[in-house]
Amino acid sequence: MGLTSDLNVSVQSLLASTEAMDVTTTNLANTNTAGYARRRVVLEESTPTGLDESSTGVDVQTIQSLRDTVLDLSINANTSAQSMNDTLSNALGSVQVEFSDTTTNSIGSTMDSFFSALQELSTSPTSTSLRSNVLTAAQNVASAFQTTAGTITQVQQQADQSVVQDTSNANSLLQQIASTNAQIQTATALGQSDNSDEDQLSSLLSQLSSIMNYQTVSSSDGLTLTTSNGIPLVVGSKAYSLTNQLDASGYNNVMAGGSNITSTISGGSLGGNITARDSTLASMTTQLDQYAYDFASAVNGVQTAGNDANGSTGTPIFNPPDTTNANSTGAAASITVALTSGAEIAAAASGGASGDASNLEKMIALQNQSITNGATPTGAFANLSYEIGNTISQAKSDSTALGSILTQLKNQQSSVEGVSVDEESSNLVLYERSYQAAAKVISTIDTLMGNILDMGVSNPGY
């Protein structure tokens, strides 16, 4: 093994050390870059050459990106679940205010005021002012139902707008994922490093997981993304965009490949908005309508069984509900007071004399009777308040639990993929010394070769 071979070995070592230092400084530069997975230079002995198979030094086999795919998938899945719970609790927050006992003019407080006004009127059934108070209290109850129903509808509409925006954001990410897939495939085909593209793909998948849940499959075309029921979202370099389509209620469904996948989206902000809009708030609207219908029906039933101040048979206080077909749909949003005068309140029993309050007593008794789903009027309000509060509390609790899991997973991810400044600084010193050693050998060989050449010039016959 002569000086030329030694020179070749030293040059290879110099080049390998240079590339290793480049990788190390790149790692250090991206210490705080989201989605970046640290790289490692994999060195291997060069293939021996020559008759004596003398070593030719070292080669850079590859620059390896240290990434734990299983860990990344777990993080994305938990991110999707946490994002859904956060979105759900945030969406329901403004509705919860309407069901608070401390909220002025809530259904619960106006209901209490209504029965209090009836109680006061029972002490003096002929009082014009007390009759007016009952009428005002009834109007406040109707207004509270309308306001609460309107708030629920408004939040549903806001959630629907968010569904459209989330769909658009998801489509943008799907297009970028498909483009990155293509770049990775091109780099692989050319034998080039695709580490930066892999980092980009990891970041895009993380962003998508915060919007919606999905499934991934690795194939020869790159990463394939599908919905939870297997409808393609990305196949190789091709992205299949989601679309929105209005349903009979005027809300936007999410379509994939011509199929309605709205009910299968169970993660991310998209899943949270859909759950709030189509499940929690829709259920609350149905219950609130039934509540308004049953309350109005019960009060009207007593009212129409008595006589008003003019001796006439009482007419319904509230309108609606439509008692002819027992349809409660829309009752909360459209309930109003039908009476125009306090004199129309049927305080007396049918045929009762002036000053009779026996019918009022029956109306007051409704406060402690089961009128809707086995609950009293104020109990029904408390049940609705508990239901939305429990839903929000559960969503926040789940989010907190998922946050703890994510912290643990990200700590594990950091130990595998994260850049350690101390470790990289140590590696930099190691590769620098290797570089300096190779450079020293090259310098020494250069000197020796120069001496040999000088010997030949000064002593031609040698």
C-alpha 140/C-alpha 154 separation (Å) is 20
Model pLDDT, residue 63: 78
- DSSP conformational letter for 344: G
**Which residues have a Cβ under 8 Å from the Cβ of 255 and sit 6 or more positions away?**
242, 243, 244, 245, 261
Residue 165 has pLDDT above 50, yes or no: yes
Residue 206 has pLDDT above 80, yes or no: yes
Under the banding of pLDDT at 50, 70 and 90, the label for residue 462 is very low
Higher pLDDT, 293 or 104: 293
Q: What is the largest CA-CA distance in the chain?
A: 150
Under the banding of pLDDT at 50, 70 and 90, the label for residue 445 is confident
What is the tens place of the pLDDT at every residue in 28-37?
888 888 778 8
Model pLDDT, residue 352: 81
Smallest CA-to-CA distance from 170 within 233, 250, 83 is with 233
**CA angle, 313 then 314 then 320, to 5°:** 140
Environment class of residue 318 by beta-carbon count within 10 Å: exposed (0-12), middle (13-18) or buried (19+)? Answer: buried
User: Beta-carbon neighbour count of residue 108 at 10 Å?
Assistant: 23
- The mean of the pLDDT values for the chain is 88
What is the tens place of the pLDDT at every residue in 350-387?
888 878 999 999 999 999 999 998 999 999 999 999 99
SS3 226: strand
Task: Enumerate the domain spans of the chain.
Answer: 3-66+418-458, 74-407
**CA angle, 168 then 171 then 176, to 5°:** 130
Model pLDDT, residue 32: 85
**Average pLDDT of the residues in 332-337:** 95
SS3 304: coil
Under the banding of pLDDT at 50, 70 and 90, the label for residue 335 is very high
Q: How much of the chain, in percent, has pLDDT values that exceed 70?
A: 94
Helix or strand (DSSP H, E) at 209? helix 195-209
Chain centroid to Cα 11, Å, comes to: 54
Determine contact, residues 224/218, Cβ cutoff 8 Å.
yes
What is the tens place of the pLDDT at every residue in 226-256?
999 899 999 999 999 999 999 999 999 999 9
Determine contact, residues 373/383, Cβ cutoff 8 Å.
yes
Residue 461 has pLDDT above 90, yes or no: no
Under the banding of pLDDT at 50, 70 and 90, the label for residue 323 is low
Model pLDDT, residue 379: 92
Model pLDDT, residue 364: 97
Under the banding of pLDDT at 50, 70 and 90, the label for residue 119 is very high
R_g over Cα of the chain: 38
Model pLDDT, residue 51: 57
Distances (CA, A) of 286 to 60, 106, 279, 328, 435: 67, 18, 11, 8, 75
